[in-house]
Amino acid sequence: MRAAIVGSTGYGGVELIRLLQAHPYVDITSVISSSSAGAPIADGYPHLSEIRTDALDAVDVALMKEKADVVFLATPHGVAAKLVPQLLEAGLKVIDLSGDFRLRSAAEYEAWYKHAPADEAYLAKAVYGLCEVYGDRVHGADFISNPGCYPTATLLGLIPAVAAGWIDPATIIVDAKSGVSGAGRGVSLGVHYSEVNENLSAYKVNRHQHIPEIEQTLSDVAGSKIVTTFTTHLVPMTRGIMSTIYASVMGGAGARSEADFIALYRDYYKGRRFVRIRPQGKLPATKEVWGSNYCDIGLAVDARTGRVTIVSVIDNLVKGAAGQAIQNLNLMMGWDETTGLQFVPAYP
Phi/psi at 59 (nearest 5 deg)? -80, 105
Please report how many Cα atoms fall inside a 13 Å half-sphere around the Cα of residue 192, on the Cβ side: 5
CB 308 within 8 A of CB 261: yes
How many residues in total does the chain contain? 348
Whose Cβ is closer to a copy of itself: residue 17's or residue 155's? 17
Whose Cβ is closer to a copy of itself: residue 101's or residue 112's? 112
Q: 285: Cβ–Cβ under 8 A, 6 or more apart, which residues?
A: 242, 313
CB of 323 vs a copy of itself, minimal distance in Å: 12
Q: Which H or E run includes 234?
A: strand 229-234
Q: 2: Cβ–Cβ under 8 A, 6 or more apart, which residues?
A: 26, 27, 29, 67, 68, 69, 70
Compute the distance between CA of residue 127 and CA of residue 95 in angstroms, rounded to an integer. Answer: 10
Whose Cβ is closer to a copy of itself: residue 66's or residue 201's? 201
Whose Cβ is closer to a copy of itself: residue 25's or residue 229's? 229
One-letter amino acid identity for 8? S
CB of 127 vs a copy of itself, minimal distance in Å: 28
CB of 72 vs a copy of itself, minimal distance in Å: 16
CB of 299 vs a copy of itself, minimal distance in Å: 10
CB of 45 vs a copy of itself, minimal distance in Å: 7
Whose Cβ is closer to a copy of itself: residue 145's or residue 217's? 217
**Maximal C-alpha separation, the chain:** 64
**Which residues does the annotation mark as catalytic?**
149
Residue 334: is it exposed, middle or buried by C-beta count within 10 angstroms (0-12/13-18/19+)?
Answer: exposed
CB of 122 vs a copy of itself, minimal distance in Å: 28
The vertex-143 CA angle with 8 and 161, nearest 5°, equals 100
Phi/psi at 230 (nearest 5 deg)? -140, 120
Residue 65: is it exposed, middle or buried by C-beta count within 10 angstroms (0-12/13-18/19+)?
Answer: middle
Whose Cβ is closer to a copy of itself: residue 40's or residue 135's? 40
Compute the distance between CA of residue 158 and CA of residue 218 in angstroms, rounded to an integer. Answer: 8
